[in-house]
């Protein structure tokens, strides 16, 4: 089968303060005409349901104007929601009319407004404690202060003790409901747990359940309803809100512990395009990989990364299993954590699917059976009382178990907040690069399972402190990147010393070499992608010397079994084989881009997330009976955090 090799090259650079819709990749085969409608919309029409009213997301090729609005109304469309920052509309109209709309020259893409669902000792085992302490003494300052983290989830319980600062003032700066339920608390229970993993304080049980950035500010954007479900439109409205308000609340990080079926290519998926616009503006977007790493029989499966985790600019996170220990020598990738490559696709006019096949996730973080804040009277604990961790009987101090990539994602979001506090000038690309470069490769797991490895906050923050603060759009390729010599590429956490990956995972390959730290690479600037420095063609992957300095090595194989990314171990997949359609054909190794298995997808393709996985277990639904130790709270606030 013909290899589908293409390079998504960013067509325009976007300045840090400029909002611009992400440009489309121009690398599609020239002999194929790309259909501009999502497969599920086309299927509805071809199955005889063209008269059904559907809510779709229409992307324009230019700004939405009054003429386009009038033409839409004449076609029978109802404009459900406009956007301030993105050239798109959510529209209700007959399916046949929506499909016809996609053929217009001024329409870029039409997709269905799909349903969205959630996907589900931390500070010590991730290295967060190491960056807050020196010689056993707490170091004031590096706790996320001043950095805003927007949490797109099921809400945050504002009465929980975990979300106040040292002056007993709430750190939730703003709360907005997009679900139409008219509330911003957390009746479902997922968002409160997520927010506390990223930024919960250490008051309860003497800091045993402290978040990664315990004094960061939180922005509560409720996109999942009381049942834990949402829509693509709600997520887009929240991202639009971030685009308009990120400066007001200094939102530098967005956490998306949720997902939807990865059907449309990242080049067309409206949420991916919104994520790209945010990243281009300087906001780090952290997304869950998903929890579809095994099928109903427990067999490992590949190719089930959720959207928006399929977006190259997003920092996509899988779940690691720490087995309840602080040391990292026994850590592994949780069996349920979704593996790459991405299987989102676009169709040509002959009906042939062209898959993205990107390497994801970017890294993994602890996500198995974590204990953190429990929202008052939430549905998850009501249905599954065993999720209550028994830490405290007092409202506002209760803790619960949850697991999944949903829990791993806020660990990385909190880490990004610490890095940005240490060096506010970091671009999202540098945050991503430093996290990957300092990650710990986990032996026995390939990059389609772990990306660059398990998060190492100690190493990432050390590197963030060393990056020059005067980098800008005019910094030339090859200029010094650090203000001092590169540190020894290893960390010691909980008595265990490990080496860093010293590599960056890209779309279809990896980069390595001392030049990644020694010299400034243009792939680090705002408006670029890390993968912009790679040229792919005819089965050969090379570095683009206009973006990368000599000495940066572009890999031609992904090394796995000995835990080394760029060493001489067994290559699980050569880069060319990864892109070979015969290896990734429908029904052979992977599915067709629609999430399957585990009982986490309903008959209509709606993702139901990691809460379903938990419901399948008699305990808390994780990989192993090992979990975080329960430390009973005595009701006294601990302020030593």
Q: Is the dihedral of CA 24, 534, 422, 329 positive or negative?
A: positive
CA distance 159 to 397: 9
Of the pLDDT bands very low, low, confident and very high (cuts 50, 70, 90), residue 71 is confident
pLDDT at 616 over 70: no
Backbone angles phi, psi at 7, to 5 degrees: -120, 125
Q: Which two tokens stand for residue 458?
A: 């100690």
Domain boundaries, the chain: 39-102, 117-578
Q: What is the DSSP string of 268-286?
A: T-HHHHHHHHHHHTT-EEE
pLDDT at residue 558 in the model? 56
pLDDT at 13 over 90: no
pLDDT at 16 over 50: no
Q: Which two tokens stand for residue 501?
A: 């990956």
Q: What is the mean pLDDT of residues 28-56?
A: 83
- 583: three-class secondary structure by DSSP: coil
Alpha helices in 174-222 (DSSP H): 190-199
Range from 312-321, 389-398, 554-563 carrying the lowest mean pLDDT: 554-563
CA distance 622 to 272: 29
CA distance 222 to 181: 10
Residues paired with residue 134 on neighbouring β-strands, in sequence order: 137
pLDDT at residue 73 in the model? 72
Of the pLDDT bands very low, low, confident and very high (cuts 50, 70, 90), residue 131 is confident
Q: Cβ–Cβ contacts within 10 Å for residue 353, how many?
A: 18
Contacts of 447 (CB under 8 A, 6+ apart): 340, 359, 505, 510, 558, 560, 565, 572
pLDDT at residue 118 in the model? 60
Q: Kindly state the helix (H) or strand (E) to which residue 164 belongs, with its residue range.
A: none
pLDDT at residue 120 in the model? 42
pLDDT at residue 119 in the model? 53
Distance of CA 382 to the CA centre of its chain: 28
pLDDT at 28 over 70: no
Of the pLDDT bands very low, low, confident and very high (cuts 50, 70, 90), residue 628 is low
Tell me which residues are annotated as active site.
153, 190, 406
Of the pLDDT bands very low, low, confident and very high (cuts 50, 70, 90), residue 429 is very high
pLDDT at residue 249 in the model? 98
pLDDT at 19 over 60: no
pLDDT at residue 20 in the model? 54
pLDDT at residue 641 in the model? 78
Contacts of 46 (CB under 8 A, 6+ apart): none
Q: What is the DSSP string of 322-384?
A: -TT-SSSTT-EE-TTS---S---EEEBTT--EEE------SEEEE-SSEEEE--TT-HHHHH-
pLDDT at residue 583 in the model? 35
Q: What is the mean pLDDT of residues 248-277?
A: 96
Residue that wins the pLDDT comparison between 64 and 124: 124
Of the pLDDT bands very low, low, confident and very high (cuts 50, 70, 90), residue 484 is very high
Q: Kindly state the helix (H) or strand (E) to which residue 200 belongs, with its residue range.
A: none
Is there a contact between 275 and 314 (Cβ–Cβ < 8 Å)? yes
Range from 315-319, 364-368, 634-638 carrying the lowest mean pLDDT: 634-638
CA distance 372 to 141: 23
CA distance 406 to 609: 9
pLDDT at residue 236 in the model? 97
What value does the CA radius of gyration of the chain take, rounded to a whole number of Å? Answer: 23
pLDDT at residue 33 in the model? 77
Q: Kindly state the helix (H) or strand (E) to which residue 447 belongs, with its residue range.
A: helix 447-450
CA distance 89 to 558: 41
pLDDT at residue 400 in the model? 96
Name which of 578, 581, 435, 434 is nearest 509 in CA terms. 578
Please report, in angstroms and rounded to a whole number, the separation of the first and last CA atoms in the chain. Answer: 57
pLDDT at residue 365 in the model? 97
Contacts of 525 (CB under 8 A, 6+ apart): 13, 427, 429, 471, 473, 475
CA distance 241 to 237: 6
pLDDT at residue 130 in the model? 84
Of the pLDDT bands very low, low, confident and very high (cuts 50, 70, 90), residue 121 is low
Range from 310-324, 354-368, 521-535, 599-613 carrying the lowest mean pLDDT: 599-613
pLDDT at residue 630 in the model? 85
**CATH of the domain spanning 117-578:** 3.40.50.200
pLDDT at residue 560 in the model? 44
Q: Which two tokens stand for residue 173?
A: 């700066």
Of the pLDDT bands very low, low, confident and very high (cuts 50, 70, 90), residue 81 is confident
Q: What does pLDDT average to over the chain?
A: 83
Of the pLDDT bands very low, low, confident and very high (cuts 50, 70, 90), residue 612 is very low
Q: Is the dihedral of CA 388, 390, 396, 402 positive or negative?
A: negative
> Three-class SS string for 85-150?
CCCEEEEEEEHHHHHHHCCCCCEEEEEECCEEEECCCHHHHCCHHHHHEECCEECCCCCCCCCEEE
Residue that wins the pLDDT comparison between 613 and 204: 204
CA distance 386 to 10: 48
Residues 257-294 as b or e (16 or more Cβ within 10 Å = b): bbbbbbbbbbbbbbbbbbbbbbbbbbbbbbbbbbbbbb
pLDDT digits (tens, 9 = 90+) for 249-260: 999 999 999 998
CA distance 380 to 261: 23
Of the pLDDT bands very low, low, confident and very high (cuts 50, 70, 90), residue 557 is low
Which of 122-126, 266-270, 326-330 is modeled with the greatest confidence? Answer: 266-270
Q: What is the mean pLDDT of residues 357-381?
A: 95
pLDDT digits (tens, 9 = 90+) for 165-179: 999 999 999 999 999
């Amino acid at each position: 089968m013909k290899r589908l090799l293409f390079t998504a090259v960013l067509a325009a650079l976007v300045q840090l303060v400029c909002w611009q819709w992400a440009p489309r990749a121009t690398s599609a085969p020239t002999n194929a005409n790309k259909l501009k409608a999502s497969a599920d919309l086309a299927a509805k029409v071809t199955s005889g349901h063209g008269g059904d009213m559907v809510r779709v997301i229409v992307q324009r090729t230019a700004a939405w104007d009054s003429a386009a609005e009038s033409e839409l109304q004449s076609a029978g469309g109802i404009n459900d929601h406009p956007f301030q920052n993105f050239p798109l509309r959510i529209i209700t109209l007959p399916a046949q009319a929506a499909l016809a709309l996609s053929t217009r020259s001024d329409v870029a893409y039409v997709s269905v407004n799909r349903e969205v669902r959630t996907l589900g000792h931390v500070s010590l085992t991730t290295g967060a404690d190491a960056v807050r302490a020196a010689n056993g003494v707490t170091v004031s300052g590096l706790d996320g202060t001043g950095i805003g983290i927007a949490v797109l989830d099921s809400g945050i319980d504002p009465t929980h003790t975990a979300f106040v600062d040292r002056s007993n003032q709430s750190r939730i700066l703003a709360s907005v409901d997009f679900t139409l339920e008219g509330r911003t608390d957390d009746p479902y229970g997922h968002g409160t747990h997520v927010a506390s993993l990223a930024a919960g304080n250490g008051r309860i049980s003497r800091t045993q359940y402290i978040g990664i950035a315990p004094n960061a500010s939180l922005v509560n954007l409720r996109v999942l309803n009381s049942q834990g479900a949402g829509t693509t439109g709600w997520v887009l409205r929240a991202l639009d809100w971030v685009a308009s308000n990120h400066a007001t609340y200094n939102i530098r990080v967005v956490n998306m512990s949720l997902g939807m079926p990865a059907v449309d290519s990242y080049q067309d998926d409206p949420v991916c395009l919104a994520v790209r616009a945010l990243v281009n503006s300087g906001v780090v977007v952290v997304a869950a990989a998903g929890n579809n790493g095994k099928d109903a029989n427990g067999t490992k499966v590949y190719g089930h990364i959720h959207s928006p985790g399929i977006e190259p600019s997003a920092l996509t996170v899988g779940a690691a299993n720490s087995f309840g220990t602080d040391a990292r020598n026994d850590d592994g990738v949780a069996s349920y954590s979704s593996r790459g490559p991405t299987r989102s696709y676009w169709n040509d006019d002959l009906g042939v699917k062209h898959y993205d096949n990107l390497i994801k996730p970017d890294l993994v973080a602890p996500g198995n059976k974590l204990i953190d804040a429990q929202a008052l009277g939430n549905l998850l604990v009501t249905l599954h009382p065993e999720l209550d961790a028994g830490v405290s009987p007092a409202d506002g101090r209760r803790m619960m178990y949850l697991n999944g990539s949903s829990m791993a994602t806020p660990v990385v979001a909190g880490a990004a907040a610490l890095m940005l506090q240490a060096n506010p000038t970091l671009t999202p690309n540098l945050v991503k690069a430093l996290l990957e470069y300092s990650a710990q490769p986990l032996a026995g797991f390939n990059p389609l399972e772990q990306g660059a490895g398990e998060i190492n906050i100690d190493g990432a923050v050390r590197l963030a402190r060393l990056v020059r603060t005067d980098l800008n759009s005019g910094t030339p390729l090859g200029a010094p990147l650090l203000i001092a010599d590169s540190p020894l590429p290893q960390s010691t956490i909980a008595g265990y010393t490990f080496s860093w990956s010293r590599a960056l995972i890209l779309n279809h390959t990896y980069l390595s070499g001392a030049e990644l730290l020694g010299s400034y690479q243009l792939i680090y600037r705002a408006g670029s992608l890390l993968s912009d420095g790679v040229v792919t063609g005819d089965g050969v992957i090379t570095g683009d010397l206009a973006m990368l300095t000599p000495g940066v090595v572009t890999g031609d194989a992904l090394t796995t079994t000995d835990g080394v990314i760029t060493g001489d171990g067994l290559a699980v997949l050569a880069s060319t084989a990864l892109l070979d359609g015969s290896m990734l054909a429908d029904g052979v190794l992977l599915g067709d881009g629609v999430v399957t298995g585990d009982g986490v997808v309903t008959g209509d393709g709606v993702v139901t997330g990691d809460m379903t996985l938990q419901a399948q277990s008699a305990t808390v639904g994780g990989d192993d009976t090992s979990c975080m130790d329960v430390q009973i709270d005595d009701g006294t606030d601990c302020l030593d955090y």
